[in-house]
Structure 1
Amino acid sequence: MLSHVIPPPRGYTKAPNGLIRHPRLGSDAKVLVLYIQGLPEEARDKALSEHARALGMTGRAYQKAKANLVTYGYVHEKRENVEGGRWRTVQVFSNEPLTDDQAARLRAGVPANGYANTGGSGVPGASPAPSAHFPTVGEPTGRMVGGLLPADEEQGEDSSHPPTEADEDAEEPSAEPEPPSQEELLLAERVLLSLRHQARQLSLGVREARKLAGLAAEWLRRGVSAGDLRLALSSALPAEGVRTAFGFLAHRLVEKLPPRPEKTAESTSPPPSSPLPLPLIACDGPGEEHMFRPHESWVTTCGPCHREQQRAYWADLMARAEADPAPTPPSWRERVAIEIRANGAASGYGTRATAT
């Protein structure tokens, strides 16, 4: 095999060889470790499932990757009791395998290594007390295990080339686009939630739709109608199916984003704003007072109360019909005789009795 490796000038993550060459650790688990290690420090304070969801790793693939990381010491979990009788799960993540004792020490805020000697301080892993000898003599402390290097600040020699002028020009910040309005965000969220009616595999939760509403609102700002946005997101789905609705829609919203329309003298008027949702009102239905958001201005009862009123109305109608049943209709012979008598009375001829 021929290999040609070019070291990147920036934006890279150093990975331990023990992690990359681990014979029993799955590829999804390795990618998850590298992804979290490459994040800025302030972006790592999330649950492992949220980091996996950002990679499009959900369901059985995530459960298998997490089981691998827990089995080989990269992730440790412990349930703790908090105030109010509630429970929380504390996760300790490391790019190096940790023992249960080391993970417990990290949760307590002390170094993971060096716990064989307390140094007379009573705290495991603390540095030994310095002696009176000059220069001060003491045993070296061990390296903390489990720490992650911050993104783009790697230690060691840098053998890469300095950035070129083209790279520096590309790093100049561009003008920030105007943020979408609240009306556009609400309309974009409604479009995303309505995709489940187009295809069940595009079903999103409310929180997922709110996370993608900013990307979808940018389409609306560029002149795409709500119907066209819905069609662009739900058409031409892959034949093998959509693995995760959130990841698929996020990719499509970014990759298929239309260009901004050119500004002309005629197009100075602002686009028409979408109607705002109606405010919450009190339901006129029976029971305790509760609020709901009507879909039309003339609606005064919520869905459950309206259905209950309809059931009560039809039950009362059936009960009255059973209490006062309608008379039995005449047979066809009786109807014919009535019709003949009515025709004879109208023509002036009556029925005559014949003597036998």
Structure 2
Amino acid sequence: MLWHAIAPVRRYTKVSHDVMRHPRLNSDAKVLISYVQGLPEGQVDRALSEHAREVGIKGRRYQAAKEQLVVNGFVHERKAPGARGLRATHQLFSNVPLSDADALAVWREAGVGGGADPSAQVPTVGQPRARSVGHQLPVDEEPGENSFRPPTQAADSEAALDELSPEEARVERVLLSLRECRRDLRLGVAEARSLVALAVEWLRRGVSGVELREVLSSGLPTGRVRSAVGFLRHRLVQKMPEAPAPEPAPQPASVPDPAPPALPDAPPTPPRVAPLVTCEGPGNEHVFRAYGGATLCPDCQQAAAWARWAERRAADLGVDLAEDAAKAVEAGRDPDGWRSRLAAAGAVAEGVDEQ
């Protein structure tokens, strides 16, 4: 590299090698230091951003260069009260790094931040006048009369609130516990006690405290309840259960009527027994007890039923089985009972099928 330098004899600015070779300043920050250091005295009252705009440093480039100058002590800023109560930002620029203590000494020497004495300032509008507050009386108030009227029932109501029966105290706890179900059902002590009379009536009508709490806290609207005391009063009135029916008055004791004379015991009625009737069926003569006007004994009725079935079966097959059916009926009457007769009738039916 060839080096050729001519020292200027006029219109130049001396810049320290510490600034030009500073490792933590970029080229824009170094250009600002050189430019502001060479400004004439009539132009130093302008903001640093305006000087940077004149040399083409704008936007993010200016913000980055200014941040480096502030961090390394070349620029200091301070907000102080200005004219008419407004706050102004003052900038201190130096071509050498200054600490905060050095910058504060420069601020104090220049008198920056020390506003004028408030008593020495001219009022914004008009001149001071005599005090005019307190001379106008209310329309309905006369001089020498105190219009304040304290409530006359405050002490009585507080005493009444402190005296609660066991039922009323129980109901009050139920009403105050509704805040646990939803926050918009929160009641104050005075609000809860204004509903105690209605809630106690529920207990007198057979509703327990748990049931009362469930009725008041179930089926709540989806939106927010605006007035908890009004909402609960409406529910206590509208959902009031029916009053229990009054118990009948006790009747006066009456003299019992004399008991009727005892009658002699009647003889017991003998059980009804069906009469013995001679069976009209075939075979040996025999009798049975007939119920409902029957003329055949049960065995003969069964044998007749089998005979009718055999006749219908033979008619279906086109075979004359009158003799076989009679034999089957006659064979069914043996001492073994209905089982043997049923087997005999089955054997006759099987013979018919084989033929």
> Could you tell me the TM-score, scaled by structure 2's length?
0.30
Structure richer in helix, relative to its length: 2
* RCO comparison, higher one (Cα < 8 Å, 6+): 1
